[in-house]
């Protein structure tokens, strides 16, 4: 048999050539990501079962079904999926090669998942009659694998019912189903089933690059991991080595470019989950079948899920993404012996178990109850409960990280948090985002930040979109700069200095009472029109100052955006207060903000925000507009518990025409913050004097300096005394007392 989809190949070769002209040479090989060994390794002898477990491991797997609640609920879900009383639907009929009928997608997803569920029950059910009935159903389903119109449909059609992003999961489902029941097959049946699975393997092998010719994004990697799994399920097939070789080659193209070396996925958290549903099974299959352990290459990916999660255990809705949980439990068993920098002694397995165990799944459970879809983005194709059961190991303890909770990644994300475990009063989490832009699912969010404090999501990214990828609300709002805590110059978003160049991290401090970083991004063609330096300092473990400096070659329109999540906004003079109700995203809380931006116009606007698919609404944000070549703006963010009116914390805008300044008065200290667009001018604010672009001085009520920070300066004096001096313009920060 020859895959009918081969007829699409000639057209696709030219598309591929076109795409190669578009991307700069070497773009996809020049980032910091990772790859696994290119040489495909197959076992000397084909053995079944072998993908998820060996025959010798079946008794232990059976014991897992009833060992704890986790096992019982997953086993129950699997039995529901393996429904013998449900009649098998007839194969659908397509209207043409571009058919987008979701019923066709659902057919292949449901039947391949059912095959997998029946196959497991055929192995694990306690009585022989049940096992035999499910074995018969599995065989029936495998003999129908890929019937219907799949080979007449063109996966390249946008929204195709047989899109390549689904085909990887179907292959992995059938691979697992076949692997379970293969030893019980007679030779003729075995050959028929193998022929059906090999037909699709051959089709994916031949069309993989044709389906996704432009960039090695998830549409390339997802079917590639599926192709790898089917090669490992049919390793004695004469093409298995070719399939596996191409699978690894294509998946490596994705992981080299879309992951940073420290595990940040540049398509965002949603596509990370969506990809995980394919790379996780492949990693287990490759290790179990061929003895090749590629989990170490992926270790930074799982570590970054722990690093990036907020206090609820959620990954950010950055890029085309909703918030996502950390399903790290699926990988824990693979890292039993892996040392991690996140803990001084516990293996990574325990931290992965902890991250899932402490993840608040309530918003995702609600979404599933509302629309039937779970958090994987692959509910129609990926049986999460099966893989949860297969990877579950109740003996792995849950251990929180003991590494310092403030992490600055070379890949460009920084996470400042008060603690790995605090979810109550005083909770603080800030994500500072400056990751080199990748060419798929990108949003114009350079140097943006997210703040979660007092258990509530505050400063926000507007998210993916309302609910679908298509639709003007996404391209006209959600992925634009104004939907993010960022700046624009002449209406254009910040860019990187070169392809794959991470925005420079110019300065860092991480000491008790003062944590911060300065990053740099650029505006204009090739980043030549203007430089933007943004520093974020977290002060006294409590509040934040965001210092923005823009220096352009020529005057232009400088705009800024401050988004603070799902709050109502009240303005009192220079103070803006966002008030949050207790909701599915966190506790009742408040965020007080002050903006010092002399010469800029501030306006309160409304913009749409989505954390979870479908749960969208408009919320207030602040826009800043100015015209000039140089600007220095200060934004103060002071989170507070609900009902904290009358607290001793206040701030005063002391800006002049030449510099921005804020004075903070707290219960036990005072902070001075000054900034100027063109450093070098002598600035005097009460008894604080400096020539720096930015200076921060925090003093106790008796006037003793507790902390200070200077960016791009040579001197800082307080109360007539020079407390810091440098020969050349530089940066400094000191904590004299916390
Ligand atoms: Mn966004």
Residues of the chain with pLDDT under 50: 1-20
pLDDT at position 644 is 75
Alpha-carbon torsion, ordered 679, 684, 687, 689, to 10 deg: 30
For the stretch 194-197, contacts whose Cβ atoms lie closer than 8 Å and that sit 24 or more positions apart, written own/partner, are: 194/234, 194/237, 195/1, 196/142, 196/143, 196/145, 196/146, 197/142, 197/145, 197/146, 197/171, 197/230, 197/233, 197/234
**Which CATH number characterizes residue 422's domain?**
2.70.98.70
CA–CA separation, 282 and 382 (whole Å): 13
Residues 43-56 as b/e (b if ≥16 CB within 10 A, e otherwise) read eeebebbbbbbeee
Would residue 453 count as lying in a domain?
Answer: yes
Q: Which of 199, 221, 249 is the last residue of a domain?
A: 199
Which residues are CB-neighbours of 59 under 8 A, at least 6 positions away? none
CA of residue 484 to ligand 1 center, whole Å: 6
pLDDT at position 646 is 63
Taking CA atoms, 377 is separated from 284, 413, 469, 561, in Å, by 21, 24, 12, 30
Q: Which of 199, 216, 248 is the last residue of a domain?
A: 199
CA of residue 487 to ligand 1 center, whole Å: 14
Q: Which two tokens stand for residue 359?
A: 């993840």
Q: Which of 540, 438, 406 is nearest to 23 (CA)?
A: 438
Give me the domain span that covers residue 437: 407-735
Would residue 228 count as lying in a domain?
Answer: no
Would residue 469 count as lying in a domain?
Answer: yes
pLDDT at position 3 is 44
pLDDT at position 267 is 98
User: What is the total count of domains within the chain?
Assistant: 2
CA of residue 465 to ligand 1 center, whole Å: 9
CA of residue 313 to ligand 1 center, whole Å: 19
Would residue 42 count as lying in a domain?
Answer: no
pLDDT at position 21 is 52
Query: Cα dihedral sign for 418, 342, 225, 90?
Result: negative
Question: H or E stretch including 306?
Answer: helix 295-308
pLDDT at position 227 is 98
CA of residue 322 to ligand 1 center, whole Å: 9
CA–CA separation, 87 and 78 (whole Å): 17
CA of residue 464 to ligand 1 center, whole Å: 6
pLDDT at position 6 is 38
CA of residue 75 to ligand 1 center, whole Å: 37
Backbone angles phi, psi at 177, to 5 degrees: -65, -50
Q: Which of 169, 199, 229 is the last residue of a domain?
A: 199
CA of residue 265 to ligand 1 center, whole Å: 14
pLDDT at position 2 is 41
């Amino acid at each position: 048999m020859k895959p009918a989809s081969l007829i699409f190949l000639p057209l696709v070769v030219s598309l591929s050539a076109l795409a190669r002209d578009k991307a700069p040479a070497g773009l996809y090989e020049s980032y910091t990501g990772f790859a696994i060994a290119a040489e495909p390794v197959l076992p000397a002898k084909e053995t079944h079962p072998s993908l998820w477990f060996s025959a010798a491991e079946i008794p232990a797997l059976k014991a897992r079904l009833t060992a704890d609640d986790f096992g019982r609920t997953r086993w129950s879900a699997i039995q529901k999926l393996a429904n013998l009383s449900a009649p098998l639907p007839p194969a659908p009929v397509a209207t043409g090669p571009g058919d987008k009928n979701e019923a066709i997608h659902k057919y292949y997803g449901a039947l391949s998942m059912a095959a997998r569920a029946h196959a497991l029950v055929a192995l694990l059910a306690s009585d022989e009659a049940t096992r035999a009935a499910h074995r018969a159903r599995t065989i029936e389903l495998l003999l129908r694998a890929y019937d219907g119109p799949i080979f007449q449909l063109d996966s390249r059609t946008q929204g195709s019912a047989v899109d390549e992003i689904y085909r990887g999961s179907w292959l992995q489902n059938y691979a697992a189903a076949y692997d379970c029941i293969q030893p019980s097959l007679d030779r003729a049946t075995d050959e028929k089933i193998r022929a059906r699975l090999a037909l699709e393997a051959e089709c994916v092998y031949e069309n993989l690059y044709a389906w996704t010719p432009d960039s090695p994004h998830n549409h390339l990697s997802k079917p590639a991991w599926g192709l790898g799994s089917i090669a490992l399920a049919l390793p004695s097939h004469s093409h298995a080595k070719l399939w596996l070789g191409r699978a690894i080659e294509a998946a490596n193209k994705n992981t080299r470019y879309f992951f940073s070396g420290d595990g940040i996925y540049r398509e965002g958290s949603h596509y990370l989950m969506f990809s995980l549903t394919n790379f996780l099974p492949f990693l287990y299959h490759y290790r179990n079948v061929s003895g090749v352990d590629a989990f170490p290459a992926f270790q930074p990916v799982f570590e970054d899920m722990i690093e990036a999660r907020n206090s609820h255990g959620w990954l950010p809705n950055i890029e085309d993404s909703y918030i996502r949980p950390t399903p790290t439990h699926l990988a824990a068993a693979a890292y039993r012996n892996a040392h991690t920098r996140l803990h001084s002694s516990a293996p990574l397995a325990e931290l992965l178990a902890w991250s899932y165990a402490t993840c608040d799944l309530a918003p995702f459970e609600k979404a599933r109850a509302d629309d039937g879809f779970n958090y994987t983005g692959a509910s129609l194709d990926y049986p999460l409960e099966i893989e949860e059961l297969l990877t579950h190991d109740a003996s792995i303890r849950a251990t929180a990280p003991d590494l310092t909770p403030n992490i600055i990644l070379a890949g460009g994300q920084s996470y400042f948090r008060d603690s790995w475990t605090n979810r109550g009063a005083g909770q603080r989490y800030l994500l500072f985002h400056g990751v080199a832009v990748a060419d798929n699912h990108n949003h114009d969010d350079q140097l943006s930040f997210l703040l979660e404090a007092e258990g509530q999501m505050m400063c926000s990214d507007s998210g993916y979109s309302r609910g679908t990828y298509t639709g003007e609300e996404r391209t006209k709002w959600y992925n634009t700069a104004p939907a993010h805590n960022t700046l624009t110059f002449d209406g254009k978003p910040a860019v990187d200095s070169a392809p794959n160049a991470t925005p420079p991290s110019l300065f860092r401090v991480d000491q008790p009472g003062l944590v911060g970083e300065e990053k740099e991004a650029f505006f204009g063609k090739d980043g030549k029109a203007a430089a933007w330096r943004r520093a974020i300092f977290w002060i006294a473990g409590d509040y934040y100052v965001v210092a923005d400096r823009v220096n352009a070659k020529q005057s232009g329109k400088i705009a800024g955006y401050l988004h603070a999540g799902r709050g109502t906004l009240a303005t009192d003079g220079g103070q803006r207060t966002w008030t949050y109700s207790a909701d599915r995203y966190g506790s009742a809380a408040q965020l007080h903000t002050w903006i010092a931006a002399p010469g800029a116009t501030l306006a309160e606007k409304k913009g749409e925000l989505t954390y979870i698919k479908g749960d969208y609404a408009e919320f207030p944000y602040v826009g800043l507009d100015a015209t000039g070549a140089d600007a220095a703006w200060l934004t103060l963010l002071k989170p507070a518990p609900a009902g904290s009116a009358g607290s001793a914390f206040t701030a005063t805008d002391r800006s002049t025409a030449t510099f921005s300044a804020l004075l903070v008065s707290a219960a036990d200290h005072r902070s001075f913050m000054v900034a100027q667009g063109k450093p070098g001018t002598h600035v005097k604010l009460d008894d604080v004097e400096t020539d720096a672009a930015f200076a921060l001085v925090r003093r106790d009520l008796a006037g003793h300096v507790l902390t200070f920070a200077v960016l791009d300066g040579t001197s800082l004096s307080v109360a007539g005394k020079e407390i810091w001096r440098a020969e050349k313009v530089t940066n400094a920060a000191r904590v004299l007392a916390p």
